[in-house]
Amino acid sequence: MTGILEGKSVIITGASSGIGRATALVFAREGARLTLADVSKEGGLETVKMAQDLGAEATFIATDVSKSKEVEAMTAHAVATYGRLDCGFNNAGIGGPGRLTHEYREEEWNRVLAINLTGVWLCMKAQITQMLEQGDGGAIVNTSSIMGLTGAIRVPAYTAAKHGVAGLTKAAALEYGSKGIRVNAVCPAPVYTPLLNQAFVKRPDIEERYKRSDPMKRIGEPEEVGEAVAWLCSDRASYMNGHPMPVDGGYMAQ
């Protein structure tokens, strides 16, 4: 039985760990041909090996998504390797420091926005250009957050960037839907990732608070987000466009 992404050429950013790695492995299982990108070469190559162990074709290119030349090189690498580009999962991001809005430093704000929002736009720009040249459509999924759908304290830059990703997703979906290019986003609630796990070690009370606030009384696994991304990228989601989709255990239903 073939996978739902059989033969599709896919770019995944932020692929060295967390949601990016988990999604890469779901895509590998579903038959995708992977171009994996991250600033961390060691982690990225580990993900490549894991995907190859599942029988997938996979390659890695070190990429800082806040730099347009590196994003363009990443896209060109995918096309040179597999001949085309069918899907992009623009997932690379950082959390940024926890401060109140008036305490945030300008350089901190600029860095979070450069990676979490401008980086998504740069990736979309390159991917859409390639898909338009091919002329037969494609699918893009961006990582937003439930903080892109609601407010949160002490993370003003992250919240603003993730709202921006949700809005950018909708704008692009309207612009390119008629060209067969679907653009959606996933909006995860807290998910067990290396970054969040480190925070839980320091503050176990935060983990318990997250669990209490979720209708399913647990925290998500990165693979659960990966499954949603795989579906959105597949032809099974052919009428899904412009949707920032919560993957949140029902948090946003409250």
Residue range 21-31, pLDDT digits in tens:
999 999 999 99
In this prediction, residues 16-40 reach a mean pLDDT of 98
- In the chain, % of residues over pLDDT 70: 100
Whether residue 201 is predicted with pLDDT greater than 90 in this model: the reply is no
Sequence-distant (≥ 6) Cβ neighbours of residue 44 within 8 angstroms: 15, 16, 36, 37, 38, 60, 62
- In the chain, % of residues over pLDDT 90: 94
Is the Cβ–Cβ distance between 32 and 8 less than 8 Å? yes
Which three-class secondary structure state does DSSP give residue 34? strand
Sequence-distant (≥ 6) Cβ neighbours of residue 60 within 8 angstroms: 15, 35, 36, 37, 38, 41, 44, 45, 47, 48
In this prediction, residues 180-191 reach a mean pLDDT of 98
Whether residue 176 is predicted with pLDDT greater than 80 in this model: the reply is yes
Strands 9-13 and 87-90: parallel
CA dist., res. 83 & res. 208, Å (int): 47
Instruction: Provide the pLDDT for residue 71.
Output: 98
Q: Is 251 a catalytic residue?
A: no
Q: Is 162 a catalytic residue?
A: yes
DSSP state string for 190-204: SB--HHHHHHHHH-H
Say which of 8, 9, 16, 158 is annotated catalytic: 158
- Residue 198 pLDDT grade (very low, low, confident, very high; cuts 50, 70, 90): confident
Whether residue 1 is predicted with pLDDT greater than 80 in this model: the reply is no
The CATH number of domain 9-189+221-240 is 3.40.50.720: yes
Instruction: Provide the pLDDT for residue 26.
Output: 98
Residue 181 token pair: 């290019």
Q: Model confidence over 53-107: pLDDT tens digits?
A: 999 999 999 999 999 999 999 999 999 999 999 999 999 999 999 999 999 999 9
Instruction: Provide the pLDDT for residue 128.
Output: 99
Whether residue 149 is predicted with pLDDT greater than 80 in this model: the reply is yes
Sequence-distant (≥ 6) Cβ neighbours of residue 11 within 8 angstroms: 35, 37, 74, 75, 78, 85, 87, 88, 89, 123, 127
Whether residue 224 is predicted with pLDDT greater than 90 in this model: the reply is yes
In this prediction, residues 228-233 reach a mean pLDDT of 98
Whether residue 211 is predicted with pLDDT greater than 90 in this model: the reply is yes
- Report the DSSP beta bridge partners of residue 185: 142, 244
Query: What is the DSSP-derived secondary structure letter of residue 24?
Result: H
Q: Is 8 a catalytic residue?
A: no
CA dist., res. 103 & res. 233, Å (int): 39
Whether residue 226 is predicted with pLDDT greater than 80 in this model: the reply is yes
- Residue 251 pLDDT grade (very low, low, confident, very high; cuts 50, 70, 90): very high
Say which of 162, 176, 192, 234 is annotated catalytic: 162
CA dist., res. 93 & res. 118, Å (int): 11
CA dist., res. 104 & res. 19, Å (int): 27
